[in-house]
Structure 1
Amino acid sequence: MSPFCFPVPGLCFLLSEVMAQMTKATCPQCPQHAFCVNGTYCTCDSGYASDSGKKFFTFPLETCNDIDECKPPISVYCGLNAACQNVEGSFHCHCNPGYKLLSGDTQFKNSNENTCQKTTSSKTTRDTEELQRVVEKFESLLTNDTPWAMGEKREVASRATTLLQTVESSALETALKSPEQKIQKIHNSTVAIETLVVTDNCSEEGKVFSLNTYMNSVDIRCDDIVQENVKGPTAIAFISYSSLGNIINATFFEEANGKDRVYLNSQVVSAAIGPERNTSLPKSVILTFQHVKMKPSSEKAICVYWKSMNEGGQWSSDGCFLIQANKSHTICNSTHLSSFAVLVALTNQEEDPVLVVITYVGLGLSLLCLLLAALTFLLCKAIQNTSTSLHLQLSICLFLAHLLFLTAIDQTKIKVPTLPQRTPCPEPRDAQFVDEFNTPVGLLQINLAFFLMTFWIVKNKLSSLNRDVSTLQNTRMLTFKATAQLLILGCTWCLGVLQVGPAARVMAYLFTIINSLQGVFIFLVYCLLSQQVRKWFREIMKSKPESETYTLSTRFGANSRPRGGVFPEQLKRKY
């Protein structure tokens, strides 16, 4: 028998029966792009992942979705002069425009198979050179520091707006000159451009194109690229600027709260479609940014776009929504095309003065009560047993924890949970914030199960014994103490999880009040409600006046007569 089954053999027998029944079950109906394993559960095909993230599943409504190996966190590397292309259930690499494999094939699997060589076609070379001139033109404008350094903020914004629009228009114009070159890519140290030309009017329904530059990407539907009022091919250009964010930085974000510290944590990217530059879209595009530096969990990501204005331009969050953010990447969606970036803000959380007062007063009372409780458990001989020893250790631990919290409360860094603004699939709160409360809540559920099982066993034992009044009273008092301890020391963690939505403020007050008064609860339940402890307190209170009487009576002799004619016997009776 397994060592885990030794304490509860009946439970293990039941589990073994359930497992035996499961092995006899027939294979469940697996969804599309999945197959059955061992006749008991399903798993997704290679190149697909379950919607729940589980490798094996039996849920009949589970779905298997295509894995985009070309996007983070996988991001297949195809080698120099090549790019990754995702396909349904798989992926492949292909040479950039102007390059081809030595074997003559059009695709390969990884960088080890990369033999992309520059072609000698004058047409392809001319197209690449024209796109290269666009990049060089931008680089010359950007490296000229004088206009950026000497100009005022409004002038810098105006120049940046003109620069962004010029590069977008030039890239689209170059792509539409050679529609047979469906994909064109070029990059250097300051800018990377990828263009895509659509000529088949989106023959595949719901087709989505993905363009990647500098580890940033955009996903856009084919229907959004094709323009109904334009005859002929249409194109989309996706551009990443490696250093433009140093010029149009977070100081151009006018919506920032004065108390928040905001900085730009991504490259500036642009997405545009042509020949007619259309900015509004019927459906949103998905943008994925790689962070310039790792984002701490305490900081909040903000998706923004460059809003052109008469004064020049500024960063704005209108129409941009956060989907998901982790330490290395942020995913946004937008209902229009423009230039985009990710700002990060460290929000200063304002303290509630009432909660501060409750915290200090409650912890002060708890420290006093925990000290009295510890002295009672240590000095009262009538109640000393194994249970009292455990309560003494609990009181000491809580005393030290409350004292540490009270003295170091101002030394901790405020951590603000990040709530997504709009999200179809991510976690509703920051993972670290959730784990801080879910761990004790999970342990609480396990202890609650053991508590209920123990209570049920004790109840059955008492019903089979000859019970007297004292046994019933002791059992009721024990049950009351155990239930109260479970609620006060355990269930209050649930109030921390419930601090969301309109009831967050009420839950915060309940959480603070109940948890700050844990010491008062322990002293009340385990000391003041104990008859033996109350009797011990009364004996201590009586012993003081009796000792004073004894001192006064022995101060005079048996036959001595004090001043005023009062004898010692009279003095003793008086006191």
Structure 2
Amino acid sequence: MVGRWNLLILALNLSIVIVLSETECPDGFNLSRRKCVDIDECEFDEDNSEGLCGNDAVCHNTFGSFHCSCEDGYRSTSGAANFSAATSVKCEDFNECLEDGGLCGPNASCFNTIPQYSCICEAGFKSTTGVESFRNGDNITCRDMDECQEENVCGQNATCINTQGSFNCVCNAGFKLKSGHQEQCEDICMIGTTICGYGTCYHGASGHYCTCHAGFTNYGHKGSRCTELNCDVFNDKISLTEEFHVARDLVKQLKESCLELTVSENPKELDGEEILKQLLSVIDNLLSGGAFKDNKKVSIFLTMVEETLRFIGPFIKAPWTAITSTHADLKLLVKKGDDFPQGTKTFSTKGAHLNISLKTAAGEPSYYPGFTTVSHLSYANLEDSADGFFSGMKRQEEQSYKINSKVVTVTVSNRNTSHLKEPVILTFDHLKQSNELSHTCVFWDSSKEGGSWSARGCSVLTSNPNYTVCSCNHLSSFAVLMALHEIEDTFELQLITWVGLSLSLICLFICILTFSLIRSIKSPRTTIHLHLCISLFIANIIFLAGISRTENRVGCAVVAGLLHFFFLAAFCWMCLEGIQLFRMVVLVFNTSFKTLYMMAGGYGVPAVIVAVSALANAKGYGTKRHCWLNLELIWSFFGPVCVIIVVNIFFFLITVWKLAQKFSSLNPDLDNLQKIKVFIITAVAQLTLLGTMWIFGCFQFEGAPIVISYLFTIFSSSQGFLLFVMHCLLSKQVREEYGKILSICCAPGKKSYSGLNSSHTSKARASKSTQDTGESRI
């Protein structure tokens, strides 16, 4: 019974549920005919001005709901493709052209619109369907338009050439685009009267051509402008042949070629590279023969090189040419074409570098001949020939110059290079590096007294011990000079000089009396010492009396010449001493010179050197501050001195070697060998004294340190005193004679000193070898 009631209750509940389910549906559904049917929310969207999804969005119904998406050309602010209307997400326009660079394909431009975008063909292209705009996916592309199919687009004097998206008009031969008109060609001969320069323009089948006037040429290129060609530079073959006969054939060939270019309408083509080789061969021959030592020869040489390089430049075929020989290093640039050259070029040769603007090299655009050439030539040893010619330089007091770089020649096709709008920049490596030398940029001026270095138009941009950078507003041959300065006097140096020379004069006078009056010590060697002291004595007197007497030019030159002579004589007598020792040891003992030969060597040789120096450069004797040799002539003294020192060292080395052999022999003559040993020691000491003094003297003309100046002054002023000590006080025999003289002077009642009248008895019994040598041990 209970079970039946339970089943009844369950059935009742089920019926209630069914009834309730048929009367209520979930969200998004409506009850229709007892069924829940999906509601299309998007149908009601049309009644709302903004719609359920907002502006620029589309509503999409789903089963039981709906969602939103942006229209084409818009993107949701959340970035999602679908979004709910219940959120704050909106649709905004985006630039498709930025998103995809190739959206429109090649030769088309993309333009953003709201919404979507448009593709439009670029200028010179059109769409395959003819429409003005399209979009990706329309199967439309842009193709080139052939503008040349249009009638007379370039005119009758030009040819149209189609290009991708455009076209070009190329003027026919003999025509040129008219100024300010991109598509009009005009007869070249009608454009301007200067089209041919110094010539007449004609129109031919193959274009225009120029007929040059007399004296002008376009180097065989009929379409080029005519420029002046001066063949007179090659006319002076006579003087050139006399000075440099090796250049005769080259100059003759250049003259003939030059004349042919100015008179013939069809001159033969020259081989520029071959002429360059000939030129460098001539340079090698001339510079290998030694220094010219003549400023006129230097001028002729440089003029020949400059004119040759300028003449053959247009005939060089390669854009760049580099040729190196034994004595020359050449870099040459040739640029051809109707376009006026632009930019800057750098040239590097041995010891020098050049920076030059091509506009400077080409000249004025209105006279541009259709080519530009630049040559940069560095000489290996021309500084030896061109050194010493400084008459064009403005010197400071006691200042001289010396070349301290390689000499270079710069030429260009531009004929007007006397004053350039843009300067050329030259960098020179120094031949001698020093922190204490000042440098000057110079060029070779052939118009200055036959030829001289001049600083006109050139300035130093920067300089250091290794190189100098120069700026010059004209072209020629260039170099860098270093300024040399004589030592400046100070009170301390003057005091040392006067005190030292006064003491030396007293000591030299005692030496002269000793070697001339004491007969017991007379020998060939003491004769040499006597004349050495006489030379130094006279030189020191002249120095004290006249070294500063510069008010009289002639008198000062005489003083300088006498000092030159007597100082050289002192070294010559010192050289004779070395030769005398050599003869005594190496040849035969006790061998001596004849007095006449010694006088010829001691005084004749210096007289010849001074005479030759005076004839070669008389102005070299005397300076503005001292009556001594100027810096241009100073090596007429230092040169012989160096030779004498080297010769004496050679003789002393051989003498010492032979003396050592004699000491090692079985039966040596120890007495004579010992004396010769002493002689060698004193001779070497004497050479060291005088040689050291003038070694320090060599460094007095280039801003020497003050310590060198003091050492030179001390050695030079005290040499008489040191010679007295070496040859008199340190000689036992001389000291003995001095002792006898003093004993007689102190005891007047005794017999007179026999040494002043006749040889002492003991000396008479001395051996002949002792008399010849005349000295005892130290």
TM-score relative to the length of structure 2: 0.33
Q: Which has the higher contact order (CA 8 A, sep 6+)?
A: 1
Of the two, which has the highest radius of gyration? Answer: 2
